[in-house]
Amino acid sequence: MAAKQAIDTLTLADARAEHAQLVAEIGHHRALYYQKDAPEISDADYDALERRLAAIEQRFPELAGAHSPTATVGAAPAAGFGKVKHKVPMLSLGNAFEDEDVTDFVASIRRFLVLDETAPLDFVAEPKIDGLSLSIRYEDGQLVQAATRGDGAEGEDVTANVRTIDDIPNTLRGKAPAVLEVRGEVYMRREDFLALNKAQAEKGEKVFANPRNAAAGSLRQLDASITAGRPLRFFAYTWGELSEPLGATQSESRQRLADLGFTISEPSRLCRTADALLDYYHWIGGQRATLPFDIDGVVYKVDRLDLQERLGFRTRTPRWATAHKYPAEKAQTLLKAISIQVGRTGALTPVAELEPITVGGVVVSRATLHNEDEIRRKDVRVGDTVIVQRAGDVIPQIVSVVANLRPADSHPFEFPTHCPACGSLAVRSTAEKADAAAEVVAVESGSPEDGAAMEDAEAPAPEETVAEPDGVVRRCTGGLICPAQAVERLIHFTSRLAFDIEGLGIERMRLFHSQGRIREPADIFTLEKRESERLDRIVTMTGFGKKSVEKLFAAIEARRTIGLDRLIYALGIRQVGEATAKLLARHYLTVDHWRAAMIKAAEERAAQPAERKPELVGESYAELCAIEQIGVGVADDMMAFFREEHNRAVLDRLLAQITVETYQRPTTTGSPVVGKTVVFTGTLETMGRSEAKAKAESLGAKVAGSVSAKTDYVVVGADAGSKATKARELGLTILTEQEWADLISGKTGAPE
Ligand code: IVH
């Protein structure tokens, strides 16, 4: 950049000319930055342009006006893609790895549906394509909107980009349902991926790590003309909202999607038994290397849609389908060091620092070593050559040590007895693995493309992981004084299933925390107020551009209103994962009610001996423990959180900054049993206990395991025992199975 003339020597004419040029230049760079995600100059150079413009306007105020970029500073244009709420959530799939998992999958479906061995049960088996999922909405046969999966509830509007994909019709063939959301996978063929990378390299542009990243990066381009030039394809495999069914079975619906003009995932096969599914799996496995696209497994889906409907969903995955993954890819590399990470609940997790190596198309430089005992069991030592494996979305792991390559002077790893972050004693106690696992994933995520590639990864939620046996995890006892725990809690707070604040990723949070700018959740929401006057200081101290700080402030503002379930999850209370947070939100509905109930329950708990039965501890505590699927262990972790004065203060300071929406119970409008508590007892004739429970919950009822004065309905099957007797004694409403079925189908009104 040529040296600029000093402002105070400029004539008005010079100033006018330079002002016009600067306005044009700034406009150009803003468009590149905000609309194309492709800035040509550094943030610092851009900021220099803005400063020069401001200086000129200060000396010649007549040049400033509403059109000047100086007038629009602070109000960054809406960056990125618009958001789309999915009418039907876009969920993920459960995983099977071993043959036995497939037999279990089939058996559990039979059990749920109470089908005996001889009853027919068909499955469609099809390839699981490794790309990114997309939902495309058609109205009267015309493409009107397309969205990525996002967090499953809300994705990004990529309509303009999707219109450029050849495999995706803009107009459907033949007579289509009035509303049809087609779902499937956007992917890139291997040969197209190689050609794209070659062309990118020749132009000196970014090359992609694998076809999946290339597909994600190409779809998420703010400029649709870039997407148009990329060889994207699409496989249809399911649907979202529909005005009329596509068929009675999965196979009929697939055929219908093909007739409407989509490519469907092939080769597929209709299978009757677990053995037939396994045959298909091995058959496709044999062709895997020669298929034109990458697959990471196969998917099995119950064929009959009425059965799919009865089977329904768990929190994030359907009961009627599963993914059967191919074995992990392995590679050999050097273990350079073992570092210790401290999680948000204080768990010390050993992490292997590796000589970077490509495993299954992704560069791996760190892998989890789980815990102290695991290191001892595998006798992993620094300097060893190790076998690393990576399966699909799963965190890279060390499988074993190559014994004959061990250096002569190696010695066993000594696990620290003190927290590396705060020096407090670290002790062994019961714990769940989840926070450790989530951290290693976090370490691996990098560029936006990588982020998109992780889209389908489902990090284990704490309550979904099995607790390790007593004493396996070593935990820092520093609690609130430990800076590592504090920063991990903040990282969890802004993570995707929690507040999901774009632009406040792991590295930024570490930086803001270390600079003292963000110490607790409320600070995130006061950041702009505290710092905007000193924006220049943030810019120089953090190295972020001014625009990117403005973008961050906008993202924070967008999350000032949040759902109760996300808030509860975000607090990072031990064992309170996504599913538990939803259960709590669903039960207490408003933040005030929930908070008051937790404080009361914590007081009740503290006043009673630990061994006292929950129902005798107090009303609020008993109510919490009575929520189905919330055990005493989870309840006590909640109590431990609320008992701590500091935690309540942190929560209250946060609540002063945000608005928490009342929890909306999904899919229950008009249901006659919303909010009712029901107990099933005895043998039901038409459905199994699990199905009865799942159905009642999907209608907004709470299913309890025991009868109390708060029970609304007791549904009594054959040979009902003491629960029916107790219900009679308490004078509760007792229904036969048929009466219950009539009630939920709306045939009869609610009984008195
Ligand atoms: S069915 C209710 N079928 O795998 C979920 N998914 O790991 C219905 N995927 O999110 C999904 N190939 O993005 C289905 N043939 C296939 C698939 C497939 C790839 C992806 C999809 C899903 C993820 C789950």
Give the helix, strand, coil percentages of the chain, each rounded to 5.
40, 20, 40
- Interacting residues of 130 by C-beta distance below 8 A, sequence separation 6+: 187, 211, 212, 293, 294, 295, 296
Q: What is the pLDDT of residue 691?
A: 85
CATH topology of domain 677-745: Rossmann fold (3.40.50)
Of the candidates 716, 697, 699, the residue with the CA atom closest to the CA atom of residue 707: 716
Q: pLDDT of 141-173, one tens digit each?
A: 999 999 999 888 889 999 999 999 999 999 999
Instruction: Report whether residue 323 contacts ligand 1, using a CB cutoff of 6 Å.
Output: yes
Beta bridge partners of 127: 298
Q: Is the CB of 185 under 6 A from ligand 1?
A: yes
| Dist. CA 309–CA 323, nearest whole Å | 18
Whole-angstrom Cα distance, residue 376 to residue 412? Answer: 8
Pocket test for ligand 1, best of 268, 299, 394 (most atoms within 8 A of CB): 299
Cβ(295) – ligand 1 distance below 6 Å: no
126 labelled as ligand-binding? yes
- Where in the sequence of the chain do the CATH 1.10.150.20 domains occur? 561-661
Write a three-state SS string for 120-162.
CCCEEEEEEECCEEEEEEEECCEEEEEEECCCCCEEEECHHHH
| pLDDT tens-place string over residues 241-272 | 999 999 999 999 999 999 999 999 999 999 99
- Residue 410 has a pLDDT of 94
| Residue for token pair 């409403």 | 733
The letter for the amino acid at 456 is D
Closest CA to 701 of 712, 716, 717, 685: 712
pLDDT recorded at residue 299:
98
Structure-derived torsion over alpha carbons of residues 371, 373, 378, 383, reported in degrees to the nearest 10: 60
**115 contacts 98 by C-beta, under 8 angstroms:** no
318 lines ligand 1 (CB under 6 A): yes
Which of 185, 291, 317, 458 has most ligand 1 atoms within 8 Å of its beta carbon, as the pocket-test mutant? 185
Q: Where in the chain is the domain with CATH 1.10.287.610?
A: 7-71
Domain with CATH 3.30.470.30 in the chain: 94-325
The DSSP bridge pattern shows strands 348-359 and 702-703 to be unpaired
87 is in an annotated binding site: no
Q: Which atom of ligand 1 is nearest to the CA of 298?
A: 15
Q: Which of 86, 88, 93, 294 to mutate to test the pocket of ligand 1 (most atoms within 8 A of CB)?
A: 93
301 marked ligand binding residue? yes
Using a 6 Å cutoff on CB, does residue 128 contact ligand 1? yes
Tell me how far apart the alpha carbons of residues 459 and 734 are, in angstroms, rounded to a whole number: 42
User: Does ligand 1 lie within 6 Å of residue 165's CB atom?
Assistant: no
Q: Is 419 annotated as a binding residue?
A: yes
Domain topology for 94-325: D-amino Acid Aminotransferase; Chain A, domain 1 (3.30.470)
Whether 422 has a binding-site annotation, put simply, is: yes
Its CATH architecture, for the domain 7-71, is: Orthogonal Bundle (1.10)
Q: Which residues of 524-554 are buried (b: 16+ CB within 10 A; e: fewer)?
A: bbebbeebeeebeebbeeeebbbbbbbbbbb
Catalytic one of 36, 83, 87, 128: 128
Strands 321-325, 385-390: pairing is unpaired
The stretches in the chain having pLDDT less than 50 are: 1-2, 34-37, 73-78, 431-470
128 is catalytic: yes
175 marked as part of a ligand binding site = no
Nearest CA to ligand 1 atom 15: 128
Please tell me what DSSP assigns to residue 171.
B
Task: Let me know if domain 561-661 sits in CATH 1.10.150.20.
Answer: yes
Mean pLDDT score of the chain, rounded to an integer?
85
What are the C-alpha distances in Å from 403 to residues 273, 358, 383, 408?
42, 22, 11, 11
Distance, in Å, from the CA atom of 718 to the CA atom of 705, rounded to the nearest integer, reads 17
- Whole-number pLDDT of residue 394: 64
The string of DSSP letters for 294-317 reads: -EEEEEEEESBHHHHHHH-B-SSS
Tokens of 684: 């039901």
- 594 vs 565: CA distance, rounded Å: 11
Instruction: Specify the domain boundaries for CATH 2.40.50.140 within the chain.
Output: 330-452+467-493
Q: Is the CB of 133 under 6 A from ligand 1?
A: yes
Secondary structure (DSSP) of 185-249: EEE--HHHHHHHHHHHHHTT-PPPSSHHHHHHHHHT-SSHHHHHTS--EEEEEEEEEESS-S-SB
Atom of ligand 1 nearest to the CA of 93: 24
DSSP designation for 495: S
- DSSP strands (E only) in 457-558: 473-476
The Cβ of residue 466 has, within 10 Å, a number of other Cβ atoms equal to: 8
Which numbered atom of ligand 1 lies nearest the CA of 392? 7
330-452+467-493 CATH fold = OB fold (Dihydrolipoamide Acetyltransferase, E2P) (2.40.50)
Take atom 7 of ligand 1 and give the residue whose Cα is closest: 93
